[in-house]
Amino acid sequence: MTPVSRRRSTLQILLLSAGFFVLVAVSVASVLLVNKAREDNALVVHTVEVESQVANLLLDVRRAESATRAYLLTSAPQYLSEYQSAAAGLPSALGHLQMMTVDNPVQVANAAKLKAAVEQRLADFALSIERVKHNDTATSIDILRKGTSADALEAIAGIGRDMRTEEDRLLAMRTATADRTQVLASSVTIAGSCMVLALAALSLVLLRQSSRARDEAEARLRDSNVNLETIVDERTADLREANEEIQRFAYIVSHDLRSPLVNIMGFTSELEELRGDIFKRIATLNRTASLAPAMPEDATDVAEPELEGSDKQLSDDFSESLSFIKSSIAKMDRLISAILNLTREGRREFKPERVDLRELIDGIVKTVAHQAVEANATVEVGALPKIVSDRLALEQIFSNLIDNALKYLRNGVPGEISIEGRTKLGFAIFEVTDNGRGIDPKDHQRIFDLFRRAGTQDKPGQGIGLAHVRALVRRLGGTMSVASELHKGSTFTITLPIKWSGKNREKAS
């Protein structure tokens, strides 16, 4: 699922960038080609201009010539002025043509030749007109008729043709180039547009695909969410049922274990009584056998008969065995009672109510005041917050902890026990600190296990207190931990919600 979507999005990005690149390339190419086309067009225009310039030039030459001739014939001053205007324009027109053709060496040469020829012709005209002014028409006609003059005329026409041909060639070439450029520009634009369109279509398809995939995934997610909730609900119900089952089981088992225990204990006690009777009788028999038979029958009632030697050994062994049996039964009974109490606690409904911890703990301290005096210990209660929780559970938690603190003090060191409290982020934190014998760090977990204890086993107990306390704290939606070092005292920290709704843990468990 994830790699597919990742591939798809990578593809999407690639497509987008490809489209972007194509667009940029097309734009750049268009700009370049448009510039090129403009240049080409300018060249074409230039060629046409050169042609017209040449044509104009030739026309002016003809005009000058015909004006000259007319003047020669008529000597009318109007033709003179016409000749003058035509001749005056020619040098500048020639210069212009030379400037225009400066880019083409062939035309430069042509222009130079043309200039020479035209100047030659103009000089001839000027000479003829001069002669006519001096009424020497014959000479002037002569001048014009001279071969050189005709040659110049011929040369001018030839050069003009050459230049026009050259320019025609250029025009054809340049027009073709301009056409090519335009075709290229339009084909680049069309190709680019097609590519962009194709890319857009492709990305649309991809987009539709991915949006369909997303819709499907969304639907799946919604389904699985619904499923998950049902599953969680089912599991929670299962767990709760299993928990109740375990509670019932523990209750019934511990209950049914008790019945045989009553018998074992009862008949062991009966046996003990019998033992007393039997050994009493043995002692009496021994004595009657060894001493005078004159002993009265009811002597056993008067004095306790003494056992001797092997009989005494036998009696002691008997007693020892019985006492072991009895102490084991007593222990088993205590364990069973503990389990029963725990299951009973587990079945109890907790009721959240407002509890003044200070008041509650003061009450506990009062009940253990006697123990504290005996243990030479002082209990200090600091300022404690008020919280909403189950009163009975809190009482059990703190009385267990205070009991433990009093129970496991260091010999010969006056006990100092303190209970402190503070609040933080919706939780109340309580610390029960003592300066007692402490707990080895390796036992920190173990002490919370049922029927497990740590350190010197010199105090009575079943190893239930802390397991019970932790179970209660958890049910109240809190946590507990211990910080302790051997011979340096312990601190038990309990964190409870300030406002317990009676739900958070119940529902979760």
Partner 1 sequence: MSDPVTIIMIEDDEGHARLIERNIRRSGVNNEIIPFTNGTEAVNYLFGRDGSAVERKGQPLLILLDLNLPDMTGIDILKRVKENKYLKSTPVVVLTTTDDSHEIKRCYELGCNVYITKPVNYESFANAIRQLGLFFSVIQVPPASI
Q: Which one, 56 or 268, has the nearer CB to partner 1?
A: 268
349 binds partner 1 (CB under 8 A): no
> Least separation, in Å, of the C-beta of 469 and partner 1?
22
Of 105, 102, 90, 87, which is closest to residue 54 (Cα–Cα)?
90
Instruction: Specify whether the backbone of 463 is left (phi greater than 0), alpha (psi in -120 to 50) or beta.
Output: left
Q: Which one, 61 or 336, has the nearer CB to partner 1?
A: 336
Q: Which one, 46 or 258, has the nearer CB to partner 1?
A: 258
344 binds partner 1 (CB under 8 A): yes
d(CA 323, CA 331): 12
Q: Which one, 75 or 269, has the nearer CB to partner 1?
A: 269
256 binds partner 1 (CB under 8 A): yes
d(CA 83, CA 65): 8
Burial level of 209, CB count in 10 A (0-12/13-18/19+)?
Answer: exposed
Helix, strand, or coil here: 381?
strand
259 binds partner 1 (CB under 8 A): yes
262 binds partner 1 (CB under 8 A): yes
Amino acid at 457: Q
268 binds partner 1 (CB under 8 A): yes
Q: Return the residue of 214, 255, 354, 422 that touches partner 1, per CB under 8 A.
A: 255
Helix, strand, or coil here: 100?
helix
Burial level of 430, CB count in 10 A (0-12/13-18/19+)?
Answer: buried
244 binds partner 1 (CB under 8 A): no
Burial level of 303, CB count in 10 A (0-12/13-18/19+)?
Answer: exposed
Half-sphere exposure of 147 (CA within 13 A, CB side): 0
d(CA 254, CA 262): 13
410 binds partner 1 (CB under 8 A): no
Compute CA distances 245 → 241, 249, 343, 391, whole Å.
Answer: 6, 6, 11, 26
Q: Which one, 151 or 273, has the nearer CB to partner 1?
A: 273
Q: Kindly indicate which of the ranges 160-168, 264-272, 358-366, 471-479 contains the residues binding partner 1, using the contact rule CB under 8 A.
A: 264-272
For residue 329, how far is the Cα from the chain centroid?
61
d(CA 3, CA 347): 51
Site for partner 1 in 41-100 (CB under 8 A): none
Q: Which one, 330 or 508, has the nearer CB to partner 1?
A: 330
Cα angle: 341, vertex 346, 352; to 5 degrees: 120
Instruction: Specify whether the backbone of 489 is left (phi greater than 0), alpha (psi in -120 to 50) or beta.
Output: left
223 binds partner 1 (CB under 8 A): no
Site for partner 1 in 306-335 (CB under 8 A): 329-330, 333
d(CA 220, CA 218): 5
> Least separation, in Å, of the C-beta of 509 and partner 1?
23
Q: Kindly indicate which of the ranges 180-188, 197-205, 211-219, 261-269 contains the residues binding partner 1, using the contact rule CB under 8 A.
A: 261-269
> Least separation, in Å, of the C-beta of 436 and partner 1?
32
> Least separation, in Å, of the C-beta of 313 and partner 1?
26
Compute CA distances 56 → 30, 96, 160, 275, 327, whole Å.
Answer: 38, 12, 10, 161, 144
Q: Which one, 325 or 360, has the nearer CB to partner 1?
A: 325
Neighbours of 480 (CB within 10 A): 20
Q: Return the residue of 36, 62, 258, 474 that touches partner 1, per CB under 8 A.
A: 258
> Least separation, in Å, of the C-beta of 266 and partner 1?
4
Half-sphere exposure of 6 (CA within 13 A, CB side): 3
Q: Which one, 133 or 255, has the nearer CB to partner 1?
A: 255
For residue 38, how far is the Cα from the chain centroid?
55
Q: Kindly indicate which of the ranges 37-45, 192-200, 268-276, 489-497 contains the residues binding partner 1, using the contact rule CB under 8 A.
A: 268-276
Of 101, 107, 148, which is closest to residue 124 (Cα–Cα)?
148
Q: Which one, 45 or 274, has the nearer CB to partner 1?
A: 274
d(CA 58, CA 80): 19
Site string for partner 1, 161-200 (x = CB under 8 A): ----------------------------------------
396 binds partner 1 (CB under 8 A): no
Cα angle: 383, vertex 388, 389; to 5 degrees: 105
- What single-letter DSSP state applies at residue 499? B
Q: Kindly indicate which of the ranges 223-231, 266-274, 316-324, 493-501 contains the residues binding partner 1, using the contact rule CB under 8 A.
A: 266-274
For residues 419 and 379, the answer to whether their CB atoms sit within 8 Å is yes
Q: Which one, 395 or 420, has the nearer CB to partner 1?
A: 395
270 binds partner 1 (CB under 8 A): yes
> Least separation, in Å, of the C-beta of 349 and partner 1?
12
| Greatest Cα pair distance in the chain | 217
Q: Kindly indicate which of the ranges 7-15, 196-204, 267-275, 435-443 contains the residues binding partner 1, using the contact rule CB under 8 A.
A: 267-275
Number of amino acids touching partner 1 (CB under 8 A): 19
Q: Which one, 263 or 456, has the nearer CB to partner 1?
A: 263
Q: Return the residue of 2, 92, 135, 263 that touches partner 1, per CB under 8 A.
A: 263
> Least separation, in Å, of the C-beta of 466 and partner 1?
24
Q: Kindly indicate which of the ranges 33-41, 182-190, 259-267, 420-428 contains the residues binding partner 1, using the contact rule CB under 8 A.
A: 259-267
Q: Which residues contact partner 1 by CB under 8 A?
A: 255-256, 258-263, 265-270, 329-330, 333, 340, 344
